[in-house]
Each structure stands twice: as C-alpha cells, then as structure tokens.
Structure 1
Amino acid sequence: MISVHAANGGIAAGSIGTLNYFAAQKGRVAAAVRPIVPEPHAPALAGRERELGDLTDLLTETGSGGTSVVAIAGAPGIGKSELARSAALRGIATGQTTRGLFVNMQGYDPDPENQVAPEDVYSSLLRALGFPGDDIPATNAEQATVYHQYMDELAHTDESVLLVIDNASTVAQFAPLIPSGLSHRVIVTSRDTFGGVPGMRTLELDVLSADASVLLMTNATTQRDRHDNRLRDDPTSAHELARLCGRLPLALQIVAALIADEPARPLTDLVDELADENTRLSGFDYDVNWSVRAAISLSYRRLPEDLSKLFRLLPLIPGGDVGLRAAAALSGEKEPEVRRKLMRLVRAHLADKQAEERWRMHDLIRIYAAELSRDPDSDAAFQRMILRYMVDFMAAGSWILYGKSDPRLSDPFPSRTAAVSWFGIERPTLVAAVRELSRRPEFHRMAVEFGLPLCTALDKLRYLDDQVTVATLWASTAAHVGDEEAEVLALNHLGGALRRVRRFDEAIDMHERALASYRRRGDRRGEGVAKTNLANVLQDLGRFDEAIQLYQEDLARCEESGDATSAGETLTNLAGVLIKAGQPDEAIAALRQPLELFRRLGNREGYARTTDLIGGALQRKGDMHAAASAHREAATIYLELDNQYARSGAMNNLALALMSLGDAQSAAAIYSEQLEVLEQLDDRHRRGIALNNLGMALTRLGRIVDAIDAHREAAEIFVHYKDVGNEATARLLLGAALRNNRQIDEARTTLHQALSMFETAGSREDADEARQLLKGLE
C-alpha cells in the first residue's frame, strides 16, 4: 500500500494492484493512473481480432520515428477501452512495450468539475512510472517538465511505455500528455474523431459481427455459470438478441448479465421484452451505473443546440438512413449547412456516414433520440421531409415509367439510370414512409395518394415484396378513410403482386374482393378488370378452363355494352390462355377479330400485340417459319413506336422460333440485341430470362463456357428478385451446361438445388428433367 499525504482537500487512498493518486489542489478532480496487467477472470476479447491486429500494426508503424499515437474512436458502448487494454497487454506480452498505464480522463462527464485535466495527471503518472515521490515538484508546470524529461530518459534506456488515455473529449485533454521520447506509444480513446493532431492515426470502431456478438454474450454468461448453454442451444434467439442489441458491445454485455441473472428464464422471453422499440432502451438499464441510455446521454448532452435539434429530428425519417436532400428538407436548411452538421454528428459518433452521401444512426442511438422530448418543429419538419421525398419520387417515377423527365417538376435526375439508382437506394425509406403515413391519421390521405405511383414503380422494377407491403397499407388506409375507389385499385395491385410472388390463394382472394366491390357499385368495366386479373392467376395455376370462362364472361359484357376496344383486349387475353392450354387453332380464331379491329382503328400497338400472339399460336402449331415472320413484324412495329419494352418481348419470341428452326446463330444475335435493349430499360428481371435463353443458344453453338456464364448470371438475378421458379430453371440449365463442360461436382450440386426448388414448387415435369440429368452423372 502506498500512501499519499492528504492536505488541502487531498485524499489518501490506495489499493493492491491499483495505484490511485489524487491532486491536492482544491476544486480539481481526482486523477487515477492504473497499471495495465492481465486480469485472470476477464472474458476474452470477442470479435475484435482484425481491429486488434490493425491497432498493433499502427502502433508499430508509427513508432520508429518517435512516439506512436493512435486514437480509437467510436460510439458510446462500442468497446474502445477494452480494445485499448487488449492492445496494451499484447504489446507487453510480445515485448513491443515494457509496461502499460491507463488513465480515465472522464471527458464526457456531464459535470465539468469531474473532467480530468492533464495537469491533474502528471504527478500520478510520475509515481506510476516509479519516479521518487519526494522529487516530484509542487507546481503543475514543473511536474509537466519533469514528466517529459523522465519519459525521454526511459526511452533512451530502451524502456518503452504504452499510455492509454481513455475517454478524452478534446485534444486539450490528451495532447499535453503525449511524450516526445522515442519508442513510447499512446492510445487515446474517444467518442469524437479529432482532426489536426500531427502524427496521430485514427482507428474507427464499428459494431461487432452477428457471430461475434453471440460469442461475446456466450463468453460472459458461461463465465458466470459454465453450465449455462442457453445461447448455444437456441441460436435463433441468440442471434435475434444480438440484432436487438444493435451488436453494440455494451448492450450485449448487459443482456448477457440479464441472462445470467435468471438461469431458468427462456431466451424467447427476453427477445419478446426487447422487441418493442418503445421500451427497448429500458431493457438495457441494468442499474443506474450500467446503462446504454446513460452512455448515449453523456454524448448527447455535449452537443450544441443546433446539433441537438438535428439529432432529435433525424429519427423522424422512416427507414433508418437519410440522404442529403431529405435531411436538408427535415432541418429547413441549405444542403451545405446540414451536411456540415451531419458530419459533426459523425465525428461525435452519434451518426454514421454511409456511401452515396447518406447518413444513419445506430438503432439504439436512434431510439434514444426518438425518446427525447419532441422538438416544436417536429410536425413541420416531418411534413417538409415527406413532401421532399414525394416530389423527388414523382420526378424519378416519370423516368422509370415513361423514360423521360416530367417538365412540370424540378428534376434532380439527368437520366433514367440516375432515377432508377436513386429509387433503389431510397426504396426502403419510401416504403417506410408509407407505413408511417398510414400510422398517422392526419396523413392518411397522403398515404392513399402515394400508393398508386409507388406501387406502379415497384411493379415496374419488380420489387415485389415491397409492392405487397405498400399495396396492403394503401388498401387498408383507403378503407379507413372510406375511399372505395382507391381501395379496389389497391386490391388490384396487391393481387397482381401476390400472383408474382406465387402467393396464389391470397391473390385470388384480393381479386375476388375487388370483383365484389365493382359488382356492388355497378361498375361493369371494373368487373372486367377484376375478372382479367383473376383469370391471370387461374392460368398460372393451370386452371385454364376457369380462366377461359372468365374471359368469355367479360367478352359477353363487352359485346353487351358495345365496347369494341375492350372486346379486342379481352380476346387477346383469351387467346393467350388458349395458347397455354394447347388450343392454338382456337387462339388464332379468337385473334382475327382484334387484329382487324386494331388495323381499322389505326391502333398499331394493339395490332403488334395481336400479331405477336398469333406468332405464339403458330409456334404451338409447329409452323415456325410463319411464327418467326409474325414475331419479326411485331418487333418492327414496336421499334417504330419506340416501345422498347414490348419490342424486347417480341424479339425473345422471334429468337425462340429461330431456335426451333435450328438457327441458333441468328437466335444468339437477337438475344444479344435484346440484352442491349434491356440494359437501356434497366430491366434486370427480363435480362435474367434473356440470359437463360441466350445460354441455350450458346450451348447449341458449342460455346459452353459462355453459356455457363449466362446461366450463372441469370440465377444470381433471380435470387435477387426472389423468383424461385425462374431461379430453378436457371440452375437446371446451368447444371446441364456444367455437365457438358465436365464440371461434374458443381453440376451435381447445381442440379440438386434445381430439383429441390422444383419439388417445393410442385413442378413435376421440371423435377423429372432434373432427376434425369442427375442420373446421367452417375
């Protein structure tokens, strides 16, 4: 035990294994310096192997020419202090440094009197370094001089010191403590990122990986009770707890302690408790001294008013992250000004900078910000932000749906590609915005008006799961406000999206609800729309007779009302299902009337569509030359009309006819041209279909390696869109191509994947083909 004289407010204190020295100047906070020594029962550092290696390298690289200084910066509770301690222990163990010292500067204490100043540390540092206590000067200035001289002496005797300056909030708190002697090393930990410190490197800490998060909790619980296997036995709950903790080490440690406190409590109970965002932070309050909320609060309280206001407003943005334009609308400021503020929050580690000029908060920090008292500007800020998103979306939607800018809008997009890219990035926020608008009664009308254009864009770009979500919200909100017209329109979109994700029973239910609504209101034309949508689902299920019956009922309605144009559209739909049902002659007979109608009306697009369908019927009859001629005529008309989307479909059908004629070379050329068209349209889903067809043509031409590349890319596209049916087809074709290239092991794996998908989908013929190919590999 080492005693320190207590005079003029000083306190004599000390303990074994820790050196505690306190400044004797009245009004100054006590300063403690601890030696860094291994703790026998401390859990191993989890999930920071890469960061520990990076930190060790940084300390080594910059140490050759003078004192090496590395700052570890990160959010509250991210594990900065533990990483610094582990690096010091590694340095001592490997001989990189002789000893390690740790001082907590308490830089984020809300009471300035409790924050440690450098002058409060010199005396304690000298004593911890072994400098004779009787020789330590009385004044801070003299202590600083002696400290730096002594550190120089140690360096010249090849005794290196690693000093961990923990929890510093300003450069002024740590810069005076950095020794100038060669071979010393300094680690500074802070919640802020500092610039302008010569020679200092910075290591930014992020949250742990999911697996490392579970490992941290497991290590902590088994340290309390080595027989507690709940986290190992229930990996699903373990990973969900890690997610709810935001993979933040402090939250993970608290949850581990809660788990260990109740050995009989199922993990699912804790998952349920933490699932509610409104109360989640309270679940991370272990006690008054160990709390996620308290840790974040220390950083928040240091923010100036302009930053604290932006911090409180950011959770208003649905979806988790925000672009610069939306943040500017939210704050009511110009973009350069709000960007500077966002970057100040980043440097305070209360926000993260993402790619594409986007920012986000850690989930727990966002929840904390949302808990704060509402800003008086919150409602107006939310409305400004939503209107910004809606205006930008309408501009993007014009490009996405029509391939051109809307002259009525201020358009931030130079091209369709830019608009599609923006939509892909902002899509989660747009979907979350509809959810938030639907939750707030004062914004219900806006949610209803937003539903149609957003669902249309989601359908066009095949974000089908999101389309289901938005259409569901749209329908329920329209019903709530009593807008039956909007509700039935939403049901049509919802049924169509459910059909595309192969949730056929639900799709039928939506279309039947829409049909009932149209009938109740006496809307005969709407009935026809609903019947057509319902028939589309039925033909996907192979229920061709029922689909044909619905089209015939709608045809009778068209004839009854004298609506020749609608009758023509219905006949083309009827012909499509007749072709699928194996009745090509009946399909051709049905198409004669609309062909003549569209010719007479000068409806060239309708004429091209009908001609293309005739080509499909002729293919079913085996008349490939006539079929190719029809598809070529349709593709030519679509080109003249600049309808590239329809043209790509006609090109696909033409290539299929040419393949049947044995002209794989011409088919491959057409597929390649089709891919160029789809590239211009940014239609990745159709690109996947075209790639599969191209792969088959390339296989015919003996270009097996190119065919493999085409099928592999197609499979990746369908995985992205969660289109299991087309993915299975791509894997079947890929497996066959791999077999032809003698890549037997990969072929077998790929074909087994295809077989499993076909069996799950109930596609018996395709499953049989996969089995036959697998049998050939035996």
Structure 2
Amino acid sequence: MEGSEQRTVRNELSGELTGQAVQVGTVYGGIHLAGPGARPAERPWQLPPVGGLVGRDSELARLERLRKRAAREGRPALGVITGLGGVGKTVLATAWLHTLRSACPDGQLYADLGARSPAGAPATSEVLGWFLNGLGIPPERVPATAAERVALYRTLTAERRLALLLDDAVSAAQVRPLLPAGRSVVAVTSRWRLSGLSLDGGHLLDLEALDTDAAVELLATTLVDGRVEAEWAEARRLVRLCARLPLAVRVAGARLAARPRRSIAVMVRDLAEERDRLAGLGLHGDHDVRAALDMSYRALPERAARLYRLLGLHPGPEFGRAAAAAALGAPDPADAEDAIDMLHDAHLLTEVSDGRYRFHDLVRLHAVERAGSEDDEARRAARRRIWDTYLATATRAEEILDPHHRTLVRGYGAGPVVAEDFGGAEPVVLAWLETELQNLLAVLRAAGSAGEPSLAWQLADALRPFFLRRKHHDARRAAYREGLAAARACGAVEAEFRMLVSGGLGELDTDAPEVALEMFDQAARLCAESGDELGLARTFNYRGLACHRLGRLADAAALFARAAVECPRHGDERAGGLARHNQGEVALAAGRAGEAAAHATAALDTLTAQRDPYNAARATMLLGRARLADGRLAEAETALDSALASLRGMTADWEVARALAALAELAERQRRFGLARDRCREALAVCAALRLPAAAADELRARLDRLDRLAGPAG
C-alpha cells in the first residue's frame, strides 16, 4: 500500500464516531479490513414458513427451469408470479425458494412490499435497510441515502447466492432497486402484471386457479377428518363454488373444520346463493375472500373502479370492449381501453381472447356487490347502455346477413349507443354472433324480466337471420318464446307476428311441424284481424312448409301456389320467388323432377333479380338436385358445385351440409365411391358442428356405411 494515511473519521450525517478510515493511493493484492464496529458476515433465513402446496407441479417446474438456465448463464434468476388475490402466489413462491437451500447457501431475504397494507407500500430505502441489516450491517452503519444503500446492497450481494422473496409488489419500479447482484434467485409476487420486469430478465408466470381435482386435494389437506372422502361429489361442487381459488377453498375448509358435525353438502347449499357466497368465504378477523378483492379494488384509479362496478351489471360471462365502453357511457370502444387494461393488469379481468374478457367467478360477485354503491338511476342507465350495445350490434348483423328482412323500428335508451363494426363481412358477423350468443340470450331474458319487453322482442327479431343460418335449436326456441311473450306484453301486433313466424320456422327445424303449423295459423289470424294482406300472403308460404313436412304434399302445393301469386301482388317479389322454390321442393318430393327444375329456374331468376344471394344459392342447389333426380348428372354437378361454393362463402353451414349430401349421392351414382365417402363425412362433420338432432343425419350415416363397403379400406 503506497501513499496511505490512516485517520479517525466521523460519520458526516450522524456526527458519531464510526471507527477507522483508510485513504489509499495504490492497491496491490486483496485487502481485508476490520474495525471495532464490524459484524461478521451473516446468513439470514427470513422466509416465512410455507403452507401446503397442491396442484402446482407445472409452475414449480417452470420456475426451476428458469433458475437452472440463469445459473448456467451466470446471472440472477428472477421469477415474477402474478395473479388474483388469493390464488396462491406467495405459497408457490415460498415453497419454491424453500427448496433452494443448497443452491442458495448464503441465506434468504424476505420483504412484504405492502400492496395489501392499509398504510401503503414501505419506502424502497426502508426495505434496503432491512436487507442490509440482514446481511450483517448494523443499523448505525446503514447509509442514509437510498442511492448509497443500493450501492452497498449490490456490493454485498455480488458474490453471494441468496434466495429473495419480494412479496406483494406494487410496480416494477418498486422492485428494481431491490434486485441483488451476483447469482441470487429472486421471486416477486404481485396482483399486478409487472410486465416491465421482463426488461430486467424476469420470467413472468401468471397464476390461475387450481383445477378441480387439485382444489379437492387442497380441501382435503385443510379438512383432515374424512369428510372429503365421504362426500366426494359434494366436495367437487364446493370447490367449484369457491371458483377453485386456493384462498376460498382453504377458508371453506377452515369453516368446516370448526364445525365437525356440519356436512359438506350443507355448506354447498349455503354457498349456492350467489348473494351470500362472499360472506360465506371469510373467517372473522382472518383470511377473507371479500377482503382480498377489496384490496385490489381500492388500488384502482377511479375510472377503472367505476368500470369494475358497472361491469358487475353485465348479464353474461364474457364481454368485449364495446360492452365495456357502453357501461362507462363512452361513445367509442377505444375509450374504455385504458380502464380495461388497468383491470386486466390488476388481475380483476381475464383476457380470454383478443379483445374479450371475463371475470373470475368470485370477482364477478364482488363486482356485483360494488355495483350497489352506484345510485339506482346510474345503474339503470348503465345497464340499458349495455343492452343497447347488444341490440344495436345484432341489428347491424341482421342487416348484413339478410338485407331483405325488413328491420322493425328499434328503440334505444338515452345514452350513447355503441355498436361493433363488422366492415360488412358475413363470416365476421357470424363469428360475432356465435361468440356473443349467450350474452344476447342473457340480455333478452333480463330485459323481459326487468320491464323492458320491447327490447326483448327486438333482440329476438334481430337474431332471425342468424338462427336461419346456424340453427342453435334450443337457443332459438328460448329466444322466440321470450320474444313472443314480450311482444304480447307490449301489444305490438307486428312484433307478435314476427315472433310467431320465426318461432314456427324453428319448430320446423326441430321436427315439430304440428307446433309450427299452429303458430303459422295464429300468425295468419293476426293478419286477417289487422287487415295485413301482405302478411297474410306470406303465411301461405309458412303454412305450406309445415304441410310439406307433415307429408301433406297436395295442401303444401296449393298453399305455395297461392303465395307465388299473392306475395308479388301485394308488393313482395322476393317472397314470390321463395314460394316458387318451395313449389319445386314439393314437386321433387312427389317425383316430378322436370317440374321441380322449372320451379327452381324461375325461383333462381327472381331471387337473383332481388339480390338475394343466399336464397339464390338454395334455388341453384334445388336445380342441381332436380337434375340429379332426372339423371342429368353433368348439369347436376355444375349446379351443385356452384351452389356449394356460394354457400361456403356465406358460411351457411346447414345448406352446405345439404349440398354436400347431394354431391355425395351424385358421386356414388358416378361410381366415384371414395369421393362420395369424403363428401358424406364432411357433411356429417358439419351436422355435428351444428349439433343437429341425430335423426337429421341418419340418411347420411346410412349412405356412408354403404360407401365404406363399396369403396373398401383404401377408399
């Protein structure tokens, strides 16, 4: 050591004598200093004890892969475990770090970063002080400023292998100064998605609820008296009511443990009532699901908190940005994105697909509770805005799918009406309707029971083109029953006519032609009583369809013939074209293929002129089937191929299946058995996707069995 001078110094900030200081000019070799105030290096063991960990093997494996990769690369391992309050983040992190005693021999550090604390998060410099104390620095020698503490902390951890748990973090900025140097292993837990820590080498692990089997196993570890084994089915129901959230399952188990004579079935019964479920998942003065959710809720900015409350009024399990914007009263879906992102980052919303979100089951109940803090008028207005969004979007879908289906007047509330923008693409429209069907039905039911019957029948009416294309028989029947009751409650005669006709068509599709005919007859009586001559003319078509299905071909032919004359006479050329199509179907069923082809050609001309591509494709398919019956196979193939291409483009799946069935018959008659078998299989797959009754595909299955024998195993 050259140019060195030793002198006694005082701590500049405290004024206290701290020991010896050495001023060094040039240093050769290693130096080890000790003074009267130094403490030997300590190995802290601060991690809290770990509770029972169940059902997290895959998550532990992911964290271990992270640690081993970081060790090979000579850098710290940073696992960031995020998720809903009560999902078990701290238990997982603690269990993982407790397994690393040999890999992290220099000790364990722990800090609760205070996201749940009523007093708020501790200052970073305060946490650094705790860590420095744990690493052997006496309180009186901890530097005063945060920057000096960070520098000393990193110096002390540079050559150590520690395990650190930074529990319940608020932000990435809070965590960064606490990350050690060297090759330590760090687990961070948070209710917020700390994606910023990925820039620091963090591995983000979003923790979900347990699966049902694991949740039952967790219940059994909490309730060790044999009740789980004795009431296995009820135990599974119980954990599902707890939404498989570990905290809720543990609380339910603890409540049962305190009541050894209470059966699991009794608790299931008590929790089945949604309005009481959160209250039933708490322990006085201890763990409480509602309290856990309250903490996350209180941390939200006001706009996000308001959206959370108002989304509790949403009637269905999932929703998109348009519904969220409507809840807030924003005119554009983009206006809600910041608030949605905040709820998503807080794990109060789960993104199920691009732009679609859902509540965890217990979070939804909490949001419903919080919605009660809004005044009655605000709740009613928000609920109506949400309903109007679905009505407006379904009406836009109706106009795209069937521009010829005259839309009745729609009545909306006072707020801004937000509707999805489809850009006119039918596949996009149908995909939206498939995705939102359960929400649409929930709105329909809720509106009817909440004294808004006009909205209920309007929504049922808007769904007509969708149900014609995609069937959904149970949903269709439910929608039109609700819609019919709503129309009658309003005294809306035209709406009642629509509900009877649409509901009757649904009954036809479910092989209930007697019910359908009665509904069509009711519709005809309404028209006669109100003097609606065009409506009455249209019922000839509908009643003919029911008679055709009942095997009354002569009655059906007579009714279709009247419709073919009366509908154009009263101004509906398109309905006249449909009547000619239906006449062709009757003629084909009666074995008059030439007559069927003539009707199909006339229908095709009319429907093409009326710019109805869907029904024009159906008429083309009828022409192909008539030519097939007449033995004109080349003409049949041309027509059927054309119809199939058009119907595929419109994703009209039921009609696609019918066209494939006709093409299968054609291929069989051409002795192209392998192609015929492929067509049959594809048609059956479409029928299965549509969830049609088994009888609807019986003929296809019989044909496929025959083709399997004819084509042989090689096809």
Do both share a fold (TM > 0.5)?
yes
1:752-767 alignment runs, 5 A limit: none
User: Aligned-pair RMSD on alpha carbons?
Assistant: 4.3
Change (3 A) 1:251 1:600: closer
| Corresponding residue number in structure 2 for 1:57 | 65
What is the Cα deviation at residue 215 of structure 1? Answer: 2.5
Give 1:194's aligned amino acid: L
Paired residues of 1:217 and 1:255 also in contact (CA < 8 A) = no
Supply the distance in 2 between the matched residues of 1:562 and 1:467 (Cα, whole angstroms).
26
1:325-404 alignment runs, 5 A limit: 325-333=322-330, 335-372=333-370, 373-376=372-375, 377-402=378-403
SS across alignment from 1:203: strand
Paired residues of 1:455 and 1:471 also in contact (CA < 8 A) = no
Q: Which residue of the other structure, out of 247, 252, 255, is the alignment partner of 1:255? A: 252
1:166-177 alignment runs, 5 A limit: 166-177=167-178
What is the Cα deviation at residue 112 of structure 1? Answer: 2.0
Q: Is the deviation greater in 412-421 or in 131-140?
A: 131-140
Q: Is the deviation greater in 470-479 or in 95-104?
A: 95-104
| Corresponding residue number in structure 1 for 2:432 | 422
Give 1:363's aligned amino acid: D
Give 1:645's aligned amino acid: Y
CA deviation map 1:692-745 (0-9, x unaligned) = 33334344445555545444443343333321233555544445545555559x
1:181-192 alignment runs, 5 A limit: 181=182, 183-192=183-192
Change (3 A) 1:199 1:390: same
Supply the distance in 1 between the matched residues of 2:294 and 2:325 (Cα, whole angstroms).
25
Asked if 1:148 is matched to 2:154, the reply is yes
Q: Is the deviation greater in 671-680 or in 604-613?
A: 604-613
Paired residues of 2:326 and 2:386 also in contact (CA < 8 A) = yes
What is the Cα deviation at residue 421 of structure 1? Answer: 3.3
SS across alignment from 1:279: helix
What is the Cα deviation at residue 84 of structure 1? Answer: 1.8
Q: Which residue of the other structure, out of 80, 83, 88, is the alignment partner of 2:92? A: 83
TM-score w.r.t. length of structure 2: 0.77
Q: Which residue of the other structure, out of 432, 438, 441, is the alignment partner of 1:431? A: 441
Asked if 1:581 is matched to 2:579, the reply is no
Paired residues of 1:571 and 1:590 also in contact (CA < 8 A) = yes
Supply the distance in 1 between the matched residues of 2:532 and 2:353 (Cα, whole angstroms).
57
Q: Which residue of the other structure, out of 479, 487, 498, is the alignment partner of 1:470? A: 479
| Corresponding residue number in structure 2 for 1:225 | 224
Q: Which residue of the other structure, out of 45, 52, 64, is the alignment partner of 2:54? A: 45
Give 2:652's aligned amino acid: D
Paired residues of 1:285 and 1:293 also in contact (CA < 8 A) = yes
Change (3 A) 1:281 1:224: closer
Change (3 A) 1:607 1:192: closer
1:745-756 alignment runs, 5 A limit: none
Give 1:379's aligned amino acid: R
What is the Cα deviation at residue 150 of structure 1? Answer: 2.9
SS across alignment from 2:274: coil
CA deviation map 1:582-611 (0-9, x unaligned) = 867x87688777767789999765665555
Paired residues of 2:349 and 2:360 also in contact (CA < 8 A) = yes
Supply the distance in 1 between the matched residues of 2:273 and 2:505 (Cα, whole angstroms).
33
Give 2:86's aligned amino acid: G
Q: Is the deviation greater in 361-370 or in 219-228?
A: 219-228
| Corresponding residue number in structure 2 for 1:274 | 271
1:531-680 alignment runs, 5 A limit: 570=540, 573-574=543-544, 577=547, 581=551, 605=574, 608-609=577-578, 611-625=580-594, 627-662=596-631, 666-680=635-649
What is the Cα deviation at residue 279 of structure 1? Answer: 1.8
Supply the distance in 2 between the matched residues of 1:733 and 1:449 (Cα, whole angstroms).
42
Change (3 A) 1:317 1:485: same
Give 1:438's aligned amino acid: G
Change (3 A) 1:738 1:109: same
Change (3 A) 1:562 1:164: closer
SS across alignment from 2:446: helix
| Corresponding residue number in structure 2 for 1:34 | 46
What is the Cα deviation at residue 641 of structure 1? Answer: 3.6
1:189-208 alignment runs, 5 A limit: 189-197=189-197, 198-208=199-209
CA deviation map 1:58-99 (0-9, x unaligned) = 33444515222221111112221222234335555xx65547
Change (3 A) 1:139 1:398: same
Supply the distance in 1 between the matched residues of 2:373 and 2:433 (Cα, whole angstroms).
30
Supply the distance in 1 between the matched residues of 2:659 and 2:231 (Cα, whole angstroms).
46
CA deviation map 1:409-438 (0-9, x unaligned) = 999332142433333333333322222322
What is the Cα deviation at residue 280 of structure 1? Answer: 1.9
Give 1:105's aligned amino acid: D
Change (3 A) 1:61 1:136: farther
Supply the distance in 1 between the matched residues of 2:263 and 2:432 (Cα, whole angstroms).
44
Give 2:278's aligned amino acid: L
| Corresponding residue number in structure 2 for 1:762 | none
Paired residues of 2:167 and 2:190 also in contact (CA < 8 A) = yes
What is the Cα deviation at residue 297 of structure 1? Answer: 0.7
Identity %, equivalent residues: 23
Paired residues of 2:500 and 2:522 also in contact (CA < 8 A) = no
Supply the distance in 2 between the matched residues of 1:595 and 1:614 (Cα, whole angstroms).
9
Give 1:338's aligned amino acid: A
Asked if 1:697 is matched to 2:666, the reply is yes
CA deviation map 1:154-177 (0-9, x unaligned) = 2xxxxx333221111133442222
Give 1:525's aligned amino acid: A
Give 1:393's aligned amino acid: A
| Corresponding residue number in structure 2 for 1:180 | 181
TM-score w.r.t. length of structure 1: 0.72
Asked if 1:324 is matched to 2:316, the reply is no
Supply the distance in 1 between the matched residues of 2:477 and 2:583 (Cα, whole angstroms).
33
Supply the distance in 2 between the matched residues of 1:601 and 1:379 (Cα, whole angstroms).
43
Supply the distance in 1 between the matched residues of 2:380 and 2:231 (Cα, whole angstroms).
46
Give 1:215's aligned amino acid: A
Q: Which residue of the other structure, out of 293, 308, 313, is the alignment partner of 1:311? A: 308
Supply the distance in 2 between the matched residues of 1:525 and 1:323 (Cα, whole angstroms).
44
Q: Is the deviation greater in 717-726 or in 162-171?
A: 717-726
Supply the distance in 1 between the matched residues of 2:538 and 2:448 (Cα, whole angstroms).
39
Give 1:350's aligned amino acid: L
Supply the distance in 1 between the matched residues of 2:433 and 2:541 (Cα, whole angstroms).
36
Supply the distance in 2 between the matched residues of 1:710 and 1:261 (Cα, whole angstroms).
63
| Corresponding residue number in structure 1 for 2:116 | 109
Between the two proteins, the alignment pairs up a number of residues equal to 653
What is the Cα deviation at residue 287 of structure 1? Answer: 3.2
| Corresponding residue number in structure 2 for 1:215 | 214
Give 2:157's aligned amino acid: M
SS across alignment from 1:70: strand
What is the Cα deviation at residue 340 of structure 1? Answer: 1.5
Supply the distance in 2 between the matched residues of 1:395 and 1:635 (Cα, whole angstroms).
27
What is the Cα deviation at residue 247 of structure 1? Answer: 3.1
Supply the distance in 2 between the matched residues of 1:445 and 1:331 (Cα, whole angstroms).
23
SS across alignment from 1:329: helix
Paired residues of 1:136 and 1:143 also in contact (CA < 8 A) = no
Paired residues of 2:113 and 2:166 also in contact (CA < 8 A) = no
| Corresponding residue number in structure 2 for 1:541 | none
Paired residues of 1:103 and 1:165 also in contact (CA < 8 A) = yes
